[in-house]
Each structure stands twice: as structure tokens, then as C-alpha cells.
Structure 1
Amino acid sequence: MDFERQEERIRTMLEEATTDSSGESSSEQETDHCSEHELNSETEQEGDDSVDVSSNSRQEEVAVNESCNDPEDDLPLSLLRQRDSASRQVNGPFYTSKDGTKWYKNCQRPNVRLRSENIVTEHARVKNTARDAGTEYECWNIFVTTNMLQEILIHTNSKIRQRQRDNANAADNANCKAPSYMQETTICELKAFIGLLYLAGVAKSNRQCLKDLWRTDGTGVDIFRTTMSLQRFQFLQNAVRFDDKSTREERKQTDNMAAFRSIFDQFVQCCQNAYSPSEFLTIDEMLLAFRGRCLFRVYIPNKPAKYGLKILALVDAKNFYVLNLEVYSGKQPPGPYAVSNKPFEVVERLIQPVSRSHRNLTFDNWFTGYELMLHLLNEHRLTSVGTVRKNKRQIPESFIRTDRQPNSSLFGFQKDITLVSYAPKKNKVVIVMSTMHHDNSIDVSTGEKQKPEMITFYNSTKAGVDVVDELSSSYNVSRNSKRWPMTLFYGVLNMAAINACIIYRANKNVTIKRTEFIRNLGLSMIYEHLHSRKSKKHIPNYIRQRILKQLGEPSPRHVNIPGRYVRCQDCPYKKDRKTKYSCNACAKPICMEHAKFICENCADLDSSG
């Protein structure tokens, strides 16, 4: 009985220790100490058996006290109630969407410190071998490499040889020699052809008739005529190829873009290897104008060209560097290129070069989705901001209503994502979702418009791809073509010039204008071909003189061999007039039409004067 009584007193004492101590007085605490002293004195008188019992009770007491050290259990009941009420006050009332998603009116994570997802680990910089590029051509050669040019050269010469055979068959003579403009090309001439495309873009003449650029009446562009003939340029433009035609049909069984796949993939890989972008990126679509026959040509009514080839791009929102590209090639046949074209999967493929780098993505309402933004944050450590379509099931009804005061905003918060509905004017609302912003801050610089910071941030970073489109169109190299691979090639050249200019500015630490950069690039690609062309015998002498002038080399003195007829230097090339006379001052061969006659007396006076 004494043992049971002692055990009961121990349990009672432990229960009193865990109850609310706010109402206890100092006298009651002294009583507890006295009772504990009495208990100890009684247990000491019990003998050996009672000692075992007391030790067991103490172990039980220690175990109970250790279990009470938990932060949740150690709090008094009144404090627990206050904490629960405070938690309900933080969460506050909430909005409910169609699918039951709750958006709280109050911020759920009012952290003072910067969130980990907003700490960028990498910044804009040139990397790898691109840091060694010093000239305009070297920067451009990073993106359109020598291997790519060699591949284009091989397939182009293959097409030229086919043209030569077709020309011989048409003449019914297998030994018929092809015209000079149908000869095989070289890597030097191929670069000169691309350089002329860049110079035409700088001169805003990309869509101009080629005959106007080669005119000899003073209205043409002299550099075009001295680099190659009009007939040769048109022939190369029609003969350029990017893949092996003999295996194309086999590759088309698994890839609609087989005719340009190799060159395009190499270009995209070079873009990713040469530069690390800034912390803000943009994902959007661009359209390359094309109205020819193509399986994956699209129609986008809000684009200026409306018809063309759609490219989905990942672009730096600060300096507009093109980092990743994907051509929309329609529904691909079964194989390695049969991928989904849904927004979720498209974004998943585009962001691979920057995954887990804590950067931010900005995209429009075609891409924005609740599941996508949380997936980017949790799986790729990327924040995102984008406008949202009003038919999304995660949007509460009150956020869509347009009967609100202009310049008013509604905020909805969750742990990792924020929603805002802004009314810029009457009967219109704009909805933006973000995993980067977590409060209801208003941008004070917008004045009476009271735009949320989420809106102003989206406006400042949404135009990355649109600016690339604008830069490409300002010095566009594209020409009218019925072949979609050529349209993609022109687009690659435009984006290569943009990226090369960014690399050049970063390496040289200069602010060169794009006009000057592209002009210097085009001329540097032409000069090598001009050096080889000046020594050819079949070109007219007046063309040779212009080449030497463009290269900055002095014109050689003409030596006319007596009795030998040579072409007059002042006659047009079409006349091809031969003469045995030459100028006494410069020894230039001239015909009688361009010679001036004076009598001996005048000649003597001229020489004496």
C-alpha cells in the first residue's frame, strides 16, 4: 500500500509540473518542495526494496521531463492558443480558384533575408576559348566555325558538279566545258559570298534587286562588282547546300528538318559554349519570314510577316545574347526528334543550359502555368515571371473581374508563388504570376498608375527575344528564297552577328556600333578573296585597278610590248577593244578613241613649261 501511495504521489507531482504555471503562487511552490522533501525522507526509511522503487520512479521522472523538453509540448496552453491565433492571422482570409487552389491575402513568408532562389551563382561573362577572340572575324568564327563552313563547302561543290553535268547533258556533249561562273567554289569565295550578304544588310539592300547592286552607271555598290560577278553571286546563292542529298530521304524518315539539322545544332552548341548570360532571361518565339513550301511553315497573324518558320528562343534580357534555340518542326516522325511541342516540355528543353543557376525566366501567357513555375523552382532552381491567361483554373474569380477601380491591384500569396491582378484602366485586368516576388510592393516610380513591382519587372525583362528580332531586321541579310534551309541559314547569320558583336565588346571593352562591326566583319571576309582575284587574268583591268584601290595597294606601271595588241584600259569591258598604243606618261594601253592629239609645237611648249 505504501508503495502504491508513493507512486501515486509521484504521478500527481509530475502532472502539476506540466500544467499552466501562470496562476501558481510562491507559497504553493514552497509546499511542493516540502512535499518532495517528505517523500525523500519516507523513502529512505523503507529499506532496500523501497530504494529500488524510488530509483525506478526517478528514472520515470527523468524520462517524462525529457519528453517535456519538446518545444511544442513545453509551451503553456495559453501560449499555444496565442500562437495558433497568430498563425491564423498571418494566413488570414484567402481566395479560392475553380480547382480549389487557395491564395492567401497576406504574405506567407515575410523573410528579411534574401531568399536562396534569388541568389544568382553565375553572371554574364565570356568563357572558354571565346575569350581569345580579338577581331571581328574571330568573334564571328566562334559561332559559324570553320568546320561548319567546310561542311557547307563540300555539299555546295557537290551541287555544283551536278549542275555541270546537267549543263553538259543539255548541250549533248559530255566533254563540254562548264562556263566560268559554274566552276566549283572555295572556302575563300564562300566567305566572300557571306561577307557580301552582311554588307547588303548594312546598306539596307537585302531585299533590293541584285542588278541594282551591280550597276556600272554609278548607282551600284562598287564592292559587289569587284568581289564577284552578278552571275557568279546568283549561281552560288542557288547552289549553297547544307547536307548530303544522297542520304536526305533516309534522314527525313526521322526528322523533318534533316536538310539543315547538322548546321543548326552546331550553331546552338557554339552559342552555349561561348558565353554565360546574365541573371535575367527571356523565352519567346520569333518568326523568320518564308512563304515557300515547307511542312512546318506556320501562320502567326500578330507577326509582321504572318507566314514563316517559328523559332523558340532563350535570350539574355540585358544584352540580348541568343543562348538557346529550337525550331518548331511540326509533328516529327517516330524517332529521336519526336518531342512534344507543349509549353511545359518546350521550356524544359530550352532551360537546360541554365538549370540550377538561380536565374530568372520571363515569358508570356502561352508558356505561363502554375505547375510549370513550381516545377522550375523546385527542380531547376529557377524563378520565373509571366502573364497568365484568364481561363487558367488556378485563377480566383475575383482576379478576373473587370468591374474594379483603375490602377487597383489584388494580391494572392502562397509559400513559393505570388499572383497579382492589376487593372490598368476600366474594364481591363492584367494577371501576372511570379516565383521571384513574395510581397505586395508597389513601384513608386509609376506615380498615379500604382503598378506593382511584379508588373514593372515583367515589362523590363519581357522584350529580350523581340529586341533580337528588331536587331536582326535592322541589318538583315535575308533574301527572297523558295528554299526553307536558306531562310534558316540567313537567320543563323543574323544571330551570329549579334552574338559576335557582344563577344567583341566584352573582349575589347569597347562600345562599338553594330553598323561598324558588321561592316568591318563583311570587309574582312571579302579581302582574302580580293587578294586572290586581283591576280586572275580574265578580269578586266579596270576591275583590277579598283581591287587594288580597295586593298590599299599601288597600281603597277603598265608596260606595253611593241607590236602586241592589248585591251584598252579606258574602254568598257563589253567593247573589248584591243590596241597597240599606250600613254606616254603612265604607259597605260589606250585606243585612239581615248587618246588626245597635239602638234609638235604644243608638245614642245608643254615639255618646256
Structure 2
Amino acid sequence: MYTFLVTVLLMGIVKKNSLREYWSTDPMFATPFFASLFSQDRFLVLLRCLHFVNNATAILSDLLYKIRNVLISLTSAFGRVFVPYKDVCIDESLMLWKGRLAFRQYIPSKMHRFGVKFFVMCDVKTGFVQDIIVYTGSTTDIKHYEGLGVLGSVVMTMLASHLGKGHTLYVDNWYSSPTLFQHLLSNSTGACGTVRSNRKGMPAFGCRKMQRGEVEFQENGKVDHLTGERKIKPDCVLDYNLKMGAVDKADMINSFVECTRKTNKWYKKIFFHLIDTAVLNGSIVHRQLTGKVITYQKYRENLMRELLEEHHTPLRPSTGGRPAVDNPLRLTA
């Protein structure tokens, strides 16, 4: 299975149009290394039979029962191996999926537009993905907090183990509300985010047209402990612009080497998406522990090599079947 995962990860770097092309014997397209890992039929059988739950004992009312075990295992590991720095952010991520699925979402502002939506919490300083919640509508796996609504409850669920430690949360206007921010403040957790003017509990500001560079603000009694004067911090706008993009950055980094492939099974695509996330987190932890700065692709390559050295016995490529077509002379120079 380690060799199988390495093969899938390698397909994210060596791009081809279809799975069968990786075992092509055409000299123009051949990549013999894949045949040394698996025969084509063996790999396709493992891919087809990839499954993560016993259907006989599964809780069928859980929309994520096909992938629940893997999701819990990985997100728990994320929380164990890394403690976030001061600043964290929560945002949405969308994994492309156009097939039939009860909880498929349409988000026109995202690049893919159709897919499975994740709530993702990242450490701002490193980009480490701290937690993931898959959105499944009314059955989304969150603890509901009275008065905070669904999105406020998402934030509180993801921050539950980090409250009271002095963290600062960055969110966009989809989550921001005075009620949520006040609740976080009462738990020694700061918050910064853009807001919607029609959000319940928002204070009413003047309607005059403001000029470039002008600031209008309201505060709830925050004072400087040294001078006793009110704190006025327009730097929050700069902080927000600097620290809010961690989730989008993680998606972008993985998009170049992602192992996620077209499949008819939604849970397999989520599995490969989680594997990509785990590898990204691994590269961040490696950098934090060793201090070595290497590219993400180089880290993936080193990881694949070490897994193969430990778990794989090379196969001899098959010499059976029809002989390959001779190379055209013009391609041998």
C-alpha cells in the first residue's frame, strides 16, 4: 500500500492524460519506472478496490461514512504533531467534483465552482493545515452554539482546543459578526475580519461618503494598559491582507503537484485530496524541525524515494506481449 501511495503521488509530478499511459510501451511516451512498481493490471485492481469502511457495520445515516475513518485519523494527527503560532485563519476550500453527490456545492467565486466544500483552519505563519471539516449541509460535523449560527459554530468547533491561549483568528465577511468576536474575546482569543454591513448586531456608521485614507471606527472599551488611552489600530487592515490567504495558498501549492485524479467515486477523490494535504503538512513540519528550506516538490520526491527504499522490492518489467514499434530515426539524434 505504501508503494501504491507512492505511485499515486508520483503521478502528480509526472503528468499524463490517462492512467494506462503510465504503462505505455510506445518509446515516445514510455515511463518504465511505473512498470517497476506495479503491473498495470495490479495497480488498476488496487485502485478499483480502494475502500475505507466495512459497509456491513457502517453508520449509513452518516453522509461521510465512506471516508469518515480516514478523515478523523488524519485531522487528529494534524492536531497532535503541530501547535499553531499566534495567528490562525479559517476559510473555505472547494475540491472539484461535478458528479452526483448529495452535498455537492456551487460557489461561483471559486475557480472550480462545483465541488465538495471544506472548512479549513490554517496556521498563518507556516501554512500548516490544522483542521478540516467537510460541509454536508445540516449534518455537518460541528457543535452548535446558541446565538452564533452555523458559521459561528464552525469557527468555535475548529477553535475549541485553542481557546484561552491568546490566538488571533482571521476570517472573511462570511464568518464575521460582533456576537462571534465578542464570544471569542471572552475566551481570550482575538479576531480580525471584514464584515457585512447588514450582519445582525453590526453598529450603524455614518452614511457620508468617505475620502481615500479616511477611517471611521467604533470600539468596545479597549485601552492601552500603560497610558490608559483608547487603542486605535487601523493596522488591522494591513494585518488582514497579509494573513488571510493561508488556506488559498495551501490550495495553490498543492494544485501544481496534486495526486487527485478523475474518478467515479467521490470518497476516493477526497482521500487523495487528504493525502496531498498530509504531505504538505509533512513538508512544513520537516522545515520547522530541521531548519532546511527545500522546495515542496523536492520534499515530495525525497519522501517517495524513502518510502520505496523501505517498503518496495523492484519488479522486473514484463517482456511479454507485442514488441514495441521501432523508434523513428529522426527521434534518435
Please state which band the TM-score falls in when normalised by the shorter chain.
0.7 to 0.9
Partner of 1:220: 30
2:50 is equivalent to residue 240 of structure 1: yes
Partner of 2:112: 305
Deviation at 1:394, TM superposition (A): 3.8
State whether residues 88 and 122 of structure 2, in contact with CA within 8 Å, keep that contact through their aligned partners in structure 1: yes
CA RMSD after TM alignment: 2.2
State whether residues 227 and 526 of structure 1, in contact with CA within 8 Å, keep that contact through their aligned partners in structure 2: no
State whether residues 104 and 114 of structure 2, in contact with CA within 8 Å, keep that contact through their aligned partners in structure 1: yes
Deviation at 1:532, TM superposition (A): 5.8
Partner of 2:169: 361
Once residues 492 and 407 of structure 1 are traced to their aligned partners in structure 2, the CA distance between those partners, rounded to angstroms, is: 43
Partner of 1:445: none
**Cα distance per residue 1:253-289 (max 9 Å; x no partner):** 3x11111111111111110010111111000111111
Partner of 1:173: none
Deviation at 1:515, TM superposition (A): 1.0
Q: For structure 2, list consecutive stretches of 5 or more residues without a partner in the other structure.
A: 224-229, 324-333
Runs (4+) off by over 4 Å: 337-341
Once residues 386 and 361 of structure 1 are traced to their aligned partners in structure 2, the CA distance between those partners, rounded to angstroms, is: 8
Deviation at 1:348, TM superposition (A): 0.9
In structure 2, relative to structure 1, the CA distance for the partners of 1:214 and 1:415 (3 Å cut) is same
* Amino acid in the other structure paired with 1:310: K
Partner of 1:202: 13
* Amino acid in the other structure paired with 2:49: A
Deviation at 1:397, TM superposition (A): 4.2
Partner of 1:574: 321
Partner of 1:388: 195
Partner of 1:409: 215
Q: Percent identity?
A: 23
Partner of 2:315: 533
Deviation at 1:505, TM superposition (A): 1.5
Deviation at 1:453, TM superposition (A): 0.9
State whether residues 194 and 525 of structure 1, in contact with CA within 8 Å, keep that contact through their aligned partners in structure 2: no
State whether residues 222 and 231 of structure 2, in contact with CA within 8 Å, keep that contact through their aligned partners in structure 1: no
* Amino acid in the other structure paired with 2:180: L
**Cα distance per residue 1:343-362 (max 9 Å; x no partner):** 11111100012111101000
State whether residues 332 and 339 of structure 1, in contact with CA within 8 Å, keep that contact through their aligned partners in structure 2: no
Question: Tell me, what secondary structure is at the counterpart of 1:479?
Answer: coil
2:4 is equivalent to residue 193 of structure 1: yes
Of 180, 185, 201, which residue of structure 2 is paired with 1:377? 185
Question: TM-score, structure 2 length as denominator?
Answer: 0.87
Partner of 2:231: 439
Question: Tell me, what secondary structure is at the counterpart of 2:278?
Answer: helix
Once residues 191 and 231 of structure 1 are traced to their aligned partners in structure 2, the CA distance between those partners, rounded to angstroms, is: 17
Of 235, 238, 241, which residue of structure 2 is paired with 1:459? 241
**Cα distance per residue 1:189-224 (max 9 Å; x no partner):** x11111011112123x2x731233222214232321
Deviation at 1:468, TM superposition (A): 1.1
**Superposition pairs of residues 96-115 of structure 1, within 5 angstroms:** none
State whether residues 283 and 315 of structure 1, in contact with CA within 8 Å, keep that contact through their aligned partners in structure 2: yes
Question: Tell me, what secondary structure is at the counterpart of 2:85?
Answer: coil
Of 49, 61, 71, which residue of structure 2 is paired with 1:264? 71
Deviation at 1:291, TM superposition (A): 1.6
Partner of 2:328: none
Q: For structure 1, list consecutive stretches of 5 or more residues without a partner in the other structure.
A: 1-189, 418-437, 442-451, 541-571, 577-609
Partner of 2:99: 292
Deviation at 1:528, TM superposition (A): 4.6
In structure 2, relative to structure 1, the CA distance for the partners of 1:332 and 1:456 (3 Å cut) is same
Partner of 1:174: none
Once residues 393 and 273 of structure 1 are traced to their aligned partners in structure 2, the CA distance between those partners, rounded to angstroms, is: 36
In structure 2, relative to structure 1, the CA distance for the partners of 1:469 and 1:402 (3 Å cut) is farther
**Cα distance per residue 1:83-118 (max 9 Å; x no partner):** xxxxxxxxxxxxxxxxxxxxxxxxxxxxxxxxxxxx
State whether residues 271 and 324 of structure 1, in contact with CA within 8 Å, keep that contact through their aligned partners in structure 2: yes
2:279 is equivalent to residue 471 of structure 1: no
Of 503, 506, 525, which residue of structure 1 is paired with 2:285? 503
Once residues 526 and 470 of structure 1 are traced to their aligned partners in structure 2, the CA distance between those partners, rounded to angstroms, is: 27
**Superposition pairs of residues 15-54 of structure 1, within 5 angstroms:** none
**Cα distance per residue 1:495-553 (max 9 Å; x no partner):** 1011111111122221121111101212333345542635xxxx53xxxxxxxxxxxxx
Once residues 228 and 359 of structure 1 are traced to their aligned partners in structure 2, the CA distance between those partners, rounded to angstroms, is: 47
Question: Tell me, what secondary structure is at the counterpart of 2:94?
Answer: strand
RCO comparison, higher one (Cα < 8 Å, 6+): 2
Once residues 342 and 402 of structure 1 are traced to their aligned partners in structure 2, the CA distance between those partners, rounded to angstroms, is: 33
**Cα distance per residue 1:561-605 (max 9 Å; x no partner):** xxxxxxxxxxx53159xxxxxxxxxxxxxxxxxxxxxxxxxxxxx
Question: Tell me, what secondary structure is at the counterpart of 1:326?
Answer: strand
Once residues 530 and 191 of structure 1 are traced to their aligned partners in structure 2, the CA distance between those partners, rounded to angstroms, is: 8
Of 516, 522, 527, which residue of structure 1 is paired with 2:304? 522
Of 2, 20, 32, which residue of structure 2 is paired with 1:211? 20
Partner of 2:271: 489
State whether residues 142 and 153 of structure 2, in contact with CA within 8 Å, keep that contact through their aligned partners in structure 1: no
* Amino acid in the other structure paired with 1:574: G
Deviation at 1:404, TM superposition (A): 2.3
State whether residues 227 and 529 of structure 1, in contact with CA within 8 Å, keep that contact through their aligned partners in structure 2: no
Deviation at 1:494, TM superposition (A): 0.9
**Greater CA radius of gyration, 1 or 2?**
1
Question: Tell me, what secondary structure is at the counterpart of 1:465?
Answer: helix
Partner of 1:282: 89
